[in-house]
């Protein structure tokens, strides 16, 4: 009887140890029905964090201290989150969460470039007469 209790206790402890308890990273099963590989989602339990889908598993990350996750731009921004009624997207400054190009949701002639996770986000402009194409991730001839 004692050996069965001991086995149950050890297995229970191993189960607890297998759960990541690191402050900045936690892994969990995806609970978002349309979880797309590499997509970032706001963390419903923390404004200082975000979630991303990788290998069918939803992972949770925390933004660096003094920043919060901006779901519109999918970056960790410096400062405190705006109130829910705020729509001001001016003076965006933040740290990238994944490399690549992202459209500026406030101006179709502009876009953001991220060279890698943790890098400073660069704001760029398309040439005059061009707009940023979100499907091709490049500037194309056109107007807003």
pLDDT for 64-82, tens place per residue? 888 888 777 777 877 777 6
For residue 126, the enclosing domain spans: 21-81+92-137
> Which CA distances in Å does 63 have to 5, 50, 126?
41, 8, 29
- Number of CB atoms found within 10 A of residue 87's CB: 8
Residue 12 falls within a domain, yes or no? no
Residue 41 falls within a domain, yes or no? yes
Check residue 80 and give its pLDDT: 77
Check if the beta carbon of residue 61 is closer than 8 Å to that of residue 35: no
Residue 15 falls within a domain, yes or no? no
Check residue 93 and give its pLDDT: 52
Residue 11 falls within a domain, yes or no? no
Residue 10 falls within a domain, yes or no? no
Check residue 58 and give its pLDDT: 77
Per the structure, the count of domains in the chain is 1
Residue 64 falls within a domain, yes or no? yes
> Which CA distances in Å does 61 have to 47, 48, 75, 130, 134?
11, 9, 12, 36, 26
Residue 110's nearest CA partner among 128, 132, 138 is 132
Residue 144 falls within a domain, yes or no? no
Instruction: Please report the sign of the dihedral spanned by the C-alpha atoms of residue 68, residue 118, residue 71, residue 85.
Output: positive
Check residue 141 and give its pLDDT: 92
Residues of the chain with pLDDT under 70: 1-35, 44-45, 82-95
Check residue 20 and give its pLDDT: 31
43-64 core/surface letters (b: 16 or more CB in 10 A; e: else): beeebbbbbbbeeeebbbbbbe
Check residue 33 and give its pLDDT: 54
Check residue 142 and give its pLDDT: 92
Check residue 129 and give its pLDDT: 86
Identify the bridge partners of residue 41 per DSSP, sorted by sequence position: 51
């Amino acid at each position: 009887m004692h050996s069965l209790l001991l086995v149950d206790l050890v297995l229970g402890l191993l189960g607890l140890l297998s759960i990541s308890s690191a402050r900045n990273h936690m892994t969990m099963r995806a609970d978002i029905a349309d979880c797309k590989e590499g997509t970032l989602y706001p963390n419903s339990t923390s404004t200082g964090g975000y979630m991303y889908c990788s290998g069918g598993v939803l992972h949770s990350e925390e933004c660096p201290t003094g920043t919060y996750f901006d779901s519109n731009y999918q970056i960790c921004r410096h400062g405190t989150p705006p109130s829910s009624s705020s729509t001001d997207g001016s003076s965006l400054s933040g740290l990238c969460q994944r490399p690549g190009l992202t459209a500026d949701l406030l101006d179709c002639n502009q876009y953001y470039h991220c060279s890698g996770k943790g890098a400073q986000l660069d704001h760029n402009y398309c040439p005059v007469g061009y707009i940023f194409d979100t499907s091709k991730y490049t500037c194309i001839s056109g107007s807003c």
